[in-house]
Amino acid sequence: MNFTKILADQRVFFNSQKTKSIKFRKMYLEKLRDLIIKNEEFLYEAIYKDFGKSRFDTYNTEISFILKDIEYYLKNLNLLAKPKKVRTNLANQLGKSKIHSEPLGCTLVIGAWNYPYQLSLSPLVTSMAAGNTCIIKPSEVAENTMKAIAKIINENFPNDYIFVAEGGVEEITEILKLKFDKIFFTGSTKVGQIVYEAAAKNLTPVTLELGGKSPAIVTANADFEVAAKRIVWGKFLNAGQTCVAPDYILVDEKVKDSFLDTLKSYIQKFNYQPDSEHYTKIINQRNFERLVNFIEKDKIYFGGNHDSQKLHIEPTILHPIDWDDAVMQEEIFGPILPVLTFNNLNEALLKISEKEKPLAAYLFTNNSEEKESFTSKISFGGGCINDVVMHLSNENLPFGGVGNSGIGNYHGKFGFDTFSHKKSVLERVTWGEPDLKYPPYTEKKMTWIKKLL
């Protein structure tokens, strides 16, 4: 595939100014929406081959996000794209100032395998809404969904506007040599570093949606039933292959036994069997083996069973665990949940703050002081108090990381801004201008300049 030519064609198309039309953007957003709805069963079949993922979970965690994003931009695009009036300072009177949102140009979206539809198509939707062209590179790890995305897009959209590139490392390596106006990447920190380095050679701005070890803190003031139920759901959704899933739990030592018992009861209640609709398999053998190596027999509090043929790992709680254990040295990204304890919340928060900043963090408590400590003392991309994962579903909240967990954010208005350049324009009248800024300079002019500036 000649990616150089595809990008060159997209550059010509972008320079035709067609994508700057709001009518054009809405027309193709509606077309994408209609294609997703029309091909819903096809999308379900493809992702089932990759994950064994149910129609319910695929719609709930993937397709609904994309459709909601499209509807958001169809409803709000006129307002988002409208130039924003801002105050004009005294020195520039008489004049008016505006900020224009203009598309960046030719963009590249690199998707991730764990939510292959959402993490490829939601950034695409945002790029389209902002008026850009786009090349999408879905992850080849979820091969069937990659092919499904390519078929739907490449057979229905002009390649010089939107194009899906199939392939693996060789193809993405070639693509990253090209000069884009924006790169949007979702995936691991390790690969994110490679993308960032490649982009730097062309001074291409990059948004990196990465990951990290996202903590869930449970204090003695928490509702244990709610905490356990929501943590179990969020952790074992997609078999733990979720970038914002709770990576580990920190629970108050005083209530540890009671909470662990409640946690175990909800895992049993939700019945995560190998062939159950609400539980997926591990994506491939390599990831399966990596995860199994985390399960030390003497650390198993609950679960631990696994089947290499079915790529199934039973929801597993590890306890007791300390910070030096192997499972605490990297993001788990699977159905293994280490549980640590603390005696003092502030000390626990300090310990978290000494680590790399996580993509998400969660606190379960009904104590207002503990809530304040949580939000003010640790840095994280985004999170919840008394829930997990659900902050992603609010398009009014930006989604993104900080530090090692990412650069930049998106969703709703924030995504539109990510794929736009904010162009400042000052317009002044052509009459009535004092000559203060022009030579010759005098002390009197200097006095006025000090007052104005």
Q: In angstroms, how far apart are the furthest CA atoms of the chain? A: 86
Residue-wise DSSP of 205-241: -EEEE-----EEEE-TTS-HHHHHHHHHHHHHGGGG-
Helix H or strand E encompassing 415: helix 412-418
CB atoms within 10 A of CB 430: 6
Instruction: Give the neighbor-by-neighbor strand order of the sheet with 84-86.
Output: 84-86, 95-103, 420-428
Residue 369 annotated in active site: no
Strand intervals (E) in 253-325: 300-302, 306-307, 312-313, 316-318
351 CB-near residues (< 8 Å, 6+ apart)? 323, 342
Tokens of 408: 């930049």
Which residue type sits at 355?
K
Measured in degrees and rounded to the nearest 5, phi and psi for residue 320 equal -80, 150
| Measured distance CA(172)–CA(112) in Å, rounded | 13
Closest CA to 218 of 337, 366, 332, 321: 366
| Measured distance CA(142)–CA(112) in Å, rounded | 9
Tokens of 296: 């030390």
**What is the β-pairing status of strands 360-364 and 382-385?**
parallel
Angle at 138 between CA 134 and CA 141, to 5 degrees: 170
Report the chain's terminal Cα–Cα distance, integer Å. 57
Which residue in 62, 209, 314, 370 is the catalytic one?
209
Beta bridge partners of 363: 217, 385
> Which positions are catalytic?
209
